[in-house]
A and B are shown apart, each in its own frame.
Chain A
């Protein structure tokens, strides 16, 4: 059995080579006439104001992104358990194999429930966006 990572590395080379070849072929074929008006970014026909990196707005899911880190690490811990699970059941019985994972997922589920109750897992509506809606109600 040879090292499988040689083959994976080979595919990595091919996977980069294919797009790079396409870019090279395209650069031989395509014209280049960079005019001023052509190069503005598309903003539904309006003249763009400022850079897109200077605008400030609420990235509304930052709480969710924090939660993601927790759950992503959780999956890392779950994977080894899933691999040995059926052997573990045969060796030490179902209770000993399953109960620790139930507790582990239980703690996470409580955490998710807490985040849920505190409104972390929803799209946060900014006060400015909903202010107008409130006055109509």
Chain B
């Protein structure tokens, strides 16, 4: 399973010198382009098409089916439609912040994929602080949300931005603490090490994925992740029935696309983190690693869409209480429990 990061693999493939910095920069850009394209493809499938199809299936309707096979060409139609919409700049917006917010939301979500091992050698970088890095990058999105909420000069946006912060504050710590409990097992923050540590057999054919080793942590992480990506039951930053669309109310055209896209990439990033630290990364029988990786992140995406269709939204005060009185205490307990189990079995 252990393989060199993508730029080095490319260097070996093209028979270039992996010690030359220029070669590595060029190949890193190529690798980054590949990762970016891969994730944009996933998002393009998920946003305009899969999301509609899934929601329609849940609510007993037929969604997009007019253009192309299974309505797939709606992706092209939507891209052209949204990009060619007029960008309406509302009165009194705080201009640099208002323009930067969509950029931050979209970029930071994409940046997290640098350290995710996707199988078949598609692993852009493997720093020793991998897991800490991915948590740090993923939570930077909050800044974009606050900027969008504040700069829009709209009271609904402002409320949405503030709610987004309240939510991210409440669920960030359970998320990271539960992630830390996995590190106790693996003994490393490096993503490749965490994946490698999950390859032994637990019982019979069942691999020792941390979702099987510590299902409690897995459940906690899934819930905290739902809150982190702002999907039901924790979608109060957007809450269409309460505050229109939250921080994205005043965004149109390409800026709306970027915020929307950023949210979907963020869901996939959450899925990628879950796949890596709980579901054995790209590991799986028969099929190649990248396919398993995609199956796993799409599985998490389906879970968020299922929650979106099936679970009612919690109130903001309930959200704070679930986060601080429930999740935080449970995640501290999980951390200590994991430490005791590892301590006894080592």
Query: Interface on A for B, CB 8 Å cutoff?
Result: 1-16, 18-20, 22-23, 25-27, 29-34, 38-44, 48, 51-53, 55, 59, 61, 64-65, 67-68, 71-72, 74-75, 78-79, 82-87, 89-90, 94, 97-98, 101-102, 105, 108-109, 112, 116, 121-123, 125
Contact = CB atoms under 8 A, between A and B. Distances in A.
B110 interface: yes
Contacts of A39: 88-91
Counting chain B CB atoms within 10 Å of each CB, the highest count among A4, A61, A97, A101 belongs to A4
B124 to A, nearest CB: 5
Contacts of A87: 187
A101 B339 contact: yes
A22 B83 contact: yes
Given A2-B18, A79-B183, A123-B316, A7 B31 contact: yes
Interface string B163-174: 001100110110
B24 interface: yes
A8 B115 contact: yes
A74 B328 CA distance: 12
A79 B132 contact: yes
Contacts of A38: 88
B324 A29 contact: no
A78 B87 contact: no
A55 B132 CA distance: 38
B125 A4 contact: yes
Contacts of A74: 173
B217 interface: no
Contacts of A40: 90-91
Contacts of B45: none
B317 A123 contact: yes
Given A22-B257, A30-B253, A52-B152, A6 B21 contact: yes
* The 6 nearest A-B residue pairs measured at CB: A123-B317, A26-B254, A10-B28, A4-B125, A94-B343, A7-B125
Contacts of A4: 5, 115, 125-127
Given A19-B103, A29-B83, A71-B173, 17 more contacts: A1-B8, A8-B115, A10-B31, A11-B28, A11-B110, A15-B110, A19-B258, A26-B257, A39-B91, A43-B156, A48-B154, A52-B157, A53-B150, A55-B158, A61-B169, A105-B335, A121-B320
A102 to B, nearest CB: 7
Interface stretch (B32-40, B218-226, B278-286, B302-310): B32-40
A23 B184 CA distance: 43
Most buried by B among A30, A72, A82, A98: A82
A82 B115 CA distance: 20
B173 A68 contact: yes
A81 to B, nearest CB: 9
Contacts of A121: 320-321, 324-325
A29 to B, nearest CB: 4
10 contacts: A4-B127, A11-B125, A44-B244, A53-B158, A72-B172, A78-B177, A79-B180, A87-B187, A98-B343, A112-B329
A41 B153 contact: yes
Contact of A30 (B28, B86, B127, B152): B86
A46 to B, nearest CB: 10
Contacts of B346: 86, 89-90, 94
A68 B172 contact: yes
B177 A75 contact: yes
Given A2-B18, A6-B21, A71-B173, A34 B328 contact: no
Contacts of B320: 61, 64, 121-123
A86 B29 contact: no
A29 B110 contact: no
Contact of A26 (B87, B162, B317, B342): B87
B189 interface: yes
A61 to B, nearest CB: 5
A27 B24 CA distance: 34
B66 interface: no
B86 A33 contact: yes
Given A121-B325, A123-B320, A14 B32 contact: yes
B113 interface: yes
Contacts of B188: 83
Task: Identify the interface centre among B85, B180, B250: most chain A CB within 10 Å of its CB.
Answer: B180
